[in-house]
């Protein structure tokens, strides 16, 4: 069972795989990680594979939304390290999915063709210094003054903000006590007057900067409101809508591909490394670790495919996407940590890809809705009584 039997997707996977094998040798992924920088022109090269249009309707230059196509792309690009896949997600998912679903006609005509050809990159501006899981308590404030919007506040953990063209930003647009009713999304160019960017060093997910975005009396035209005036104060519905289901699968696929890479590395290493006169893969303890890792990997794959099929078919999927996000993130972490042990000291040494997989996988249960939040979702959606 794979992400799709669709001939186009199978052919596309092969094309991306060959591209990654040819263009992204392990040393290059290591360099992006070491320098904490992936050059932006890689997005154009990825767009050259035709995959940026997989989230965009045909009338705007895309290929039509294909959840399976997007996940297959992430899984293939991620084979070279998840930076390239992350770059793709900033374009096709944060940009393509949200603008296709919520943009005004003018925003769609302007942005979607440019997203499809890899010209634009988006960043996601949800979190704030005091706002993590509880997104309904967003404080960054946007006020309408005539035909202008004035924004004040701070966004945190904004991946790629410093190199993005737009931050897709959740802001408070009315009385904070109303929580869910007074939120809106804006498109904020990070080079706008009044925006200051600061960088936070992170353990993993290196390649794109992680930024604080400080907004002081930033003035933008009314046209920056995602979806135009009709969607003013409708940010919560946009956040909790169908794009959230895809978002959970997108971050799960990054966890899955990281675990898959770790298993591949440990599997190969165990056959090369000899101790006590034979390869360590002949030791039962190593064989069992690797057999368990392969089994868990397969379980992750099936959870993700099942949830993706429901989303693709437009069926109710909130429980299944939360289960996939929870299971894949936590299990991917278990898999990678067990594979690290197979490499012994070399799993702890810089310069081996394994230590990067460890650093990258640790964020999976934290971001994009933590594992605890997914457990809350599942028990609430399955109507487990609270009293």
Ligand X SMILES: Cc1cc2nc3c(=O)[nH]c(=O)nc-3n(C[C@H](O)[C@H](O)[C@H](O)COP(=O)(O)OP(=O)(O)OC[C@H]3O[C@@H](n4cnc5c(N)ncnc54)[C@H](O)[C@@H]3O)c2cc1C
- Residues near ligand X (CB under 6 A) are 123-127, 132-133, 157-159, 202, 205, 210, 363, 366-368, 370, 372-373, 376
Structure tokens at 272: 């090369």
Nearer to ligand X, 80 or 125 (CB): 125
Cα 284 vs. chain centroid, distance in angstroms? 37
Give the ranges where the chain is alpha helix by DSSP (H).
7-23, 26-35, 41-47, 67-77, 82-88, 98-102, 105-116, 235-239, 242-272, 284-312, 318-342, 353-361, 371-381
Residue 108, token pair as written in the block:
């769609």
Give min distance, CB of 147 to ligand X, in A.
28
- CB of residue 92 to ligand X, shortest distance in Å: 15
Q: How far is the CB of 131 from ligand X (least distance, A)?
A: 7
Strand duo 278-279 + 274-275: pairing: antiparallel
Structure tokens, 6: 């669709």
Our CB check for ligand X shows the closer of 49 and 136 to be 136
Which lies closer to ligand X via its Cβ, residue 291 or residue 372?
372
**What SS3 state is found at 215?**
strand
For residue 94, give the nearest of 33, 154, 158 by alpha carbon.
158
Which of 159, 261 has the CB closer to ligand X? 159
Q: Which is nearer to ligand X, 69 or 125 (CB)?
A: 125
Shortest distance in whole angstroms from residue 283 CB to ligand X: 36
Which secondary structure element, helix H or strand E, spans residue 150, and what is its range? strand 148-159
Identity of the residue, 69 or 160, whose beta carbon is nearer to ligand X in the bound complex: 160
- Residue 386 beta carbon to ligand X: minimum distance, rounded to whole angstroms: 12
Contact 24, 81 (CB under 8 A): yes
> Shortest approach of ligand X to residue 198 CB, angstroms?
14
The least distance separating ligand X from the CB of residue 155, rounded to whole angstroms, comes to 7
Pick 149 or 363: Cβ nearer ligand X: 363
Please give the full DSSP string across 375-387, using - where no structure is assigned: HHHHHHHTT----
The least distance separating ligand X from the CB of residue 211, rounded to whole angstroms, comes to 9
- Whole-angstrom distance, CA of residue 377 vs CA of residue 369: 10
The CA distances from residue 117 to 60, 62, 233, 251, 373, in Å, are 11, 9, 31, 23, 35
Compute the distance between CA of residue 151 and CA of residue 234 in angstroms, rounded to an integer: 17
What is the dihedral sign for C-alpha 276, 282, 284, 285?
A: positive
Q: Which is nearer to ligand X, 60 or 94 (CB)?
A: 94
Task: Report the distance separating Cα 138 and Cα 183, nearest Å.
Answer: 8
Number of residue whose CB is nearest ligand X: 132
């Amino acid at each position: 069972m794979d992400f799709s039997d669709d001939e186009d997707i199978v052919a596309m996977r092969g094309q991306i795989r060959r591209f990654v094998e040819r263009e992204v040798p392990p040393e290059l992924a290591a360099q992006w990680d070491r320098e904490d920088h992936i050059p932006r022109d890689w997005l154009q090269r990825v767009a050259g594979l035709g995959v940026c249009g997989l989230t965009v309707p045909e009338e705007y230059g895309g290929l039509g939304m294909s959840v399976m196509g997007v996940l297959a792309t992430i899984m293939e690009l991620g084979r070279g390290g998840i930076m390239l896949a992350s770059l793709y997600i900033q374009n096709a998912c944060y940009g393509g999915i949200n603008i296709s679903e919520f943009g005004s006609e003018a925003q769609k005509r302007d942005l979607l063709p440019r997203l499809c050809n890899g010209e634009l990159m988006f960043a996601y501006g949800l979190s704030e210094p005091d706002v993590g899981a509880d997104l309904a308590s967003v404080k960054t404030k946007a006020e309408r003054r005539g035909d202008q919007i004035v924004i004040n506040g701070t966004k945190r953990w904004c991946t790629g903000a410093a190199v993005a063209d737009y931050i897709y930003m959740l802001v408070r647009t009315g009385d904070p006590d109303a929580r869910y009713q007074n939120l809106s999304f804006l498109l904020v160019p990070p080079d706008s007057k009044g925006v200051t960017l600061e960088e936070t060093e992170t353990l993993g997910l290196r390649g794109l900067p992680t930024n604080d975005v400080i907004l002081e009396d930033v003035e933008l035209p009314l046209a920056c409101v995602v979806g135009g005036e009709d969607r003013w104060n409708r940010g919560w519905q946009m956040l909790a809508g169908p794009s959230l289901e895809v978002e959970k699968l997108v971050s799960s696929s990054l966890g899955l591909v990281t675990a898959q890479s770790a298993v591949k590395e440990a599997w190969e290493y165990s056959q090369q490394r000899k101790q006590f006169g034979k390869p360590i893969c002949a030791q039962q303890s190593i064989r069992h670790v690797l057999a368990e890792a392969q089994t868990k990997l397969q379980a992750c794959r099936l959870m993700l495919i099942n949830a993706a099929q429901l989303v693709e078919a437009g069926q109710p999927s909130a429980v299944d996407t939360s289960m996939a996000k929870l299971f894949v993130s936590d299990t991917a972490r278990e898999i990678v940590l067990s594979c690290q042990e197979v490499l012994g000291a070399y799993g702890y040494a810089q310069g081996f890809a394994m230590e990067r997989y460890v650093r990258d996988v640790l964020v999976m249960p934290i971001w994009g809705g933590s594992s605890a939040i997914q457990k809350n979702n599942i028990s609430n959606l399955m109507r487990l009584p609270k009293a």
